[in-house]
Chain A
Amino acid sequence: MADVIDAVEKGWRLKGEGKVEMPAKIGIHPRKDCYIHAMPCWIGGEVDTCGLKWVSGFPQNIKKHMPYNIGLFILTDSDDGHMKAVMDANWLTTWRTGAASGVIAKYLGPEAPSTLAIIGAGTQGRINIRAMMSVYPGMKTVKVYDVMPNQVATLKEQMGTLFPTLEVVGAQDVQSACADADIVISCAPVLEKPVRTVRSEWLKKDVLCIAVDHDSTFDADIMTGARAYVVDDRGQYAYMQGGGVYFQGYPSERELYAEMSEVVVGKKPRVREGRRGAAPMGIACNDVIVGKMVYERAMAKKLGTWVNP
C-alpha cells in the first residue's frame, strides 16, 4: 500500500506541474443506472506513460451474482502509441482509490490521529483502512458502520489479522461511528439520489472527512462549511456537478480550496486543523501510474500471458 500511495502522490505531483493530459471521462449507459466509462490519460515527466481504463458499473449485476464493477486497463507506449498490456482494472481501481485517501490524509490529515470512522464496510471501507494504517501505523481505533452487519464482521476479521494493534469496533449507528473520529471516510454505494446520513454537528471540530462515495453520505454543509474542501480534478468535478446529479449543494468548482495536485506541489498550503473535506472521484491519472506499476511488477515476475500473432 505504501508503494501505491507513493505512486498516486507522484501522479498528482506531475499533474500539479502541468505534465498530465487528462480529459474529463466519457461513457455510455446501456442499462438503467449503469455506465461504462472511458478514462484516458497521459502522464509525462519521468513517468511518461499513456493508458486508458474502460470500466463498467452495473448495479443489477449483483443480483445475478456478477461483479458490480468490472473493466480492463490498457497500458500504451508514449513514444509510439502501441499497446503494451491489457490487464484487469479492478485491482488497480480498488487500490488507487484507497491510496488517494492515503495521500489526502498525508497532506490534510492530523499529525497523530487515534480514531478513524468508516461508513460502509465493503471493498472500499477495507482498503481505506489499509491506506490509513499505512500513513498512520499508530492509529488505535477504527469504528465501522454498515447497514449490513455481516459486512462489518468480514471487515473485522480481515483487519484484525492485518493489524493486530488496531481496535476494530462495530458502531450501532452512523452518529456513534463519527462521534470521536479524527478522520471520517465514507464508502457507501454511489447513488443518484443520495441519502446523506452524516450531520455536521456530530463531528469533532478538527476532523478530516473523505467522501469516497461522491456526495452519498456527508451532508452538504459539512463540505460548504469546511475550512478546506478539495477534489482530485477540477475539470471532472465541474463536469459532474454541472450534470445536475452529483454534488448538488456541495461547493462549486470555484469555491474549492484546491485540487489535490495543487496541494501536493505546494501551490496551496496544507491544512491540518478545523474541518477539512475531500471528494476524490477517482481519476485516470491515478489508474495510469498504478497500472504502470502493476505492469512493471508483472514483467519482473514473468506473470501474465503473451499473445502471439
Chain B
Amino acid sequence: MKSMEYREWLDKHVKIGKEVLWVTQKEVEEMGIPRETVFELTEKALAYHGKKEVEMPAKIGIHPHTQPNTLMHAMPGYIPAEYIACLKWGGCFPENRQKFNLPQTSGLMVYNDHESGIPVAVTDAVWITKMRTAAVSMAGAKYLANPKTEVAAQIGCGVQGTEHVKFMELALPHLKEILIYDVYPAAMDALIKECQPSVKAKIVKTNSFEEVVKGAETVFSTSTITSSPSPKIKDEWVRAGQTLILVDMHTLYDDKTMKRADKYLVDSIEEHVYFESIGYYPHGLPEIYGETGEVVAGIKKGRESKDELIVDNNTGMSVEDAMVVKHIVGLALERKIGRLLPL
C-alpha cells in the first residue's frame, strides 16, 4: 500500500482530524496477537533501525520523587517505509503494588497520520511494551546465541521474566531446559505454573545466581534496574561461549565481565551513551561492537564461533513499539474493536 492509500484507508475508518480511535489494554490483550507476530514485527523494527531507516531521537523522561527509581519516558518514533509516526508515553513506578495495589507500569501510545501529523489513535502501551521487550531479547538470542542452545536461563521471574520464558522457544528451538532464578522463591513457582503448560522445555528452579548462570548457555536477565549497578554475578561464573542478554542494563553483572566480552552490543548507541552521561554506567561503557539492529539486518556479523562471549544490552526503542502499534490499530479498525471519540 502506498502512503496516500494507507492514509485513505485509515480515514475511511477514523475521520482524520475529527475522530480518534481509543483501544484499551483489555481490548489489546483480547486481540490474541500471537507471539510469532510480535517477534516478526520486532525483528523488522530492529532491521529498520540497523539500516538507519528510522527517525528516533534518544528518549527523554521525568523522574518524580514520589517513589524511588520512578521513570516516565517520552519515546517518539518514525518509520518512513511503514508510514508510522507515533509516540509512547509510559513509565514504571516500582512501589505501586505495595502502595496502591496498582501495576508498576503504565503507558499510552499515540498513533499519528504521518501525512498530516494528526493523532488517529490512542492505545494502551503496557501490553505492547511487555511483548516487544521480550521479543527484542529473543531477536538478540536468535542472532547472537549458539543456535543449538539446549539450556537457557531466566533471571528475574516477574512480568518480564514470565514473558521471556513464553517467548524463548521461538528464538531457541532446541531448548530442553529453562533454568530460572528469582530472589523471591514464590515468583519462581508462579512463573512455572503460568508458563509450563505452554512451554515444551522443562522449567527448573535454581537456588542461586551462581547456579543459574553456570548451568546455561544463554542467560536472560530482567531484574529491576537500579540507578547504579549492584553486581550479583561474579566474573568467574561466566564462561566462553555464553550469551548474556540484558534487559536490566549492567545491574547484575561485574564490570569485568562486560568489558571482557568478545562482542558487546546495545540496541541504540545514542541512548546508552546518554545513559552513561547520567550515571548509569559509572565504570564507563565497554567498547561497543555494534547495535542489535545491525546484526538483525545482516550489516554486522552475529556469532562467529562457539567460544565467543557475547553481551547484548537492550533498553527498548520506540520503533519497536511503533511496528506493534500499527498492527494493533490495523486489527482494531478491521475488526471494529475500540471506540471512536471526538478529537
Question: Which residue of chain A lies nearest to B91 when distances are taken between CB atoms in the complex?
Answer: A81
Q: A81-B92, A82-B102 are in contact. List 6 more A-B contacts (CB 8 A).
A: A24-B60, A27-B57, A27-B76, A40-B61, A72-B20, A79-B66
Which residues of A pack against B, CB within 8 Å? Answer: 21-31, 34-36, 38-42, 44, 48, 50, 52, 54, 56-58, 61, 64, 66-67, 70-72, 74, 76, 78-83, 86, 88, 305, 307, 309
Residue among B64, B106, B116, B119 making CB contact with A42, cutoff 8 Å: B64
Interface residues of B in 92-133 (CB under 8 A from A): 92-93, 96, 99-100, 102, 105-108, 110, 112, 114-119, 122
Residues in A with CB closer than 8 Å to B117 are 30-31, 34-36, 56-58, 61, 70
Q: How far is the CB of B96 from chain A (nearest CB, A)?
A: 5
Question: Which residue of chain B lies nearest to A82 when distances are taken between CB atoms in the complex?
Answer: B106
A31 to B85, CA, bound (A): 11
A79 to B102, CA, bound (A): 11
Question: Which residue of chain B lies nearest to A61 when distances are taken between CB atoms in the complex?
Answer: B116
Question: Which residue of chain A lies nearest to B27 when distances are taken between CB atoms in the complex?
Answer: A309
B114 touches A307 (CB 8 A): no
Residues in A with CB closer than 8 Å to B339 are 307
A74 to B106, CA, bound (A): 12
A71 touches B116 (CB 8 A): no
A54 touches B87 (CB 8 A): yes
Residues in A with CB closer than 8 Å to B33 are none
Q: How far is the CB of B21 from chain A (nearest CB, A)?
A: 11
A54 touches B89 (CB 8 A): yes
B108 touches A86 (CB 8 A): yes
Residues in A with CB closer than 8 Å to B27 are 309
Interface residues on B, range: 35 or more
Q: How far is the CB of B128 from chain A (nearest CB, A)?
A: 15
B106 touches A23 (CB 8 A): no
B72 touches A76 (CB 8 A): yes
A70 to B110, CA, bound (A): 13
B269 touches A (CB below 8 Å)? no
Question: Which residue of chain A lies nearest to B104 when distances are taken between CB atoms in the complex?
Answer: A81
Residue among B24, B93, B112, B342 making CB contact with A80, cutoff 8 Å: B93
Q: How far is the CB of A286 from chain B (nearest CB, A)?
A: 15
Q: Mark B68-95, 1 if CB is under 8 A from A, else 0.
A: 0010101111101000010101011100
A52 touches B96 (CB 8 A): no
Q: How far is the CB of B143 from chain A (nearest CB, A)?
A: 27
A309 to B89, CA, bound (A): 19
B25 touches A26 (CB 8 A): no
Question: Which residue of chain B lies nearest to A55 when distances are taken between CB atoms in the complex?
Answer: B117
B343 touches A (CB below 8 Å)? yes
Q: List 13 A-B contacts (CB under 8 A).
A: A24-B60, A28-B85, A31-B114, A31-B117, A35-B117, A36-B117, A40-B61, A40-B89, A74-B108, A80-B93, A88-B343, A307-B339, A309-B24
A76 to B100, CA, bound (A): 15
Residues in B with CB closer than 8 Å to A30 are 55, 78, 80, 85, 112, 114-115, 117
Residues in A with CB closer than 8 Å to B65 are 44
Question: Which residue of chain B lies nearest to A60 when distances are taken between CB atoms in the complex?
Answer: B116
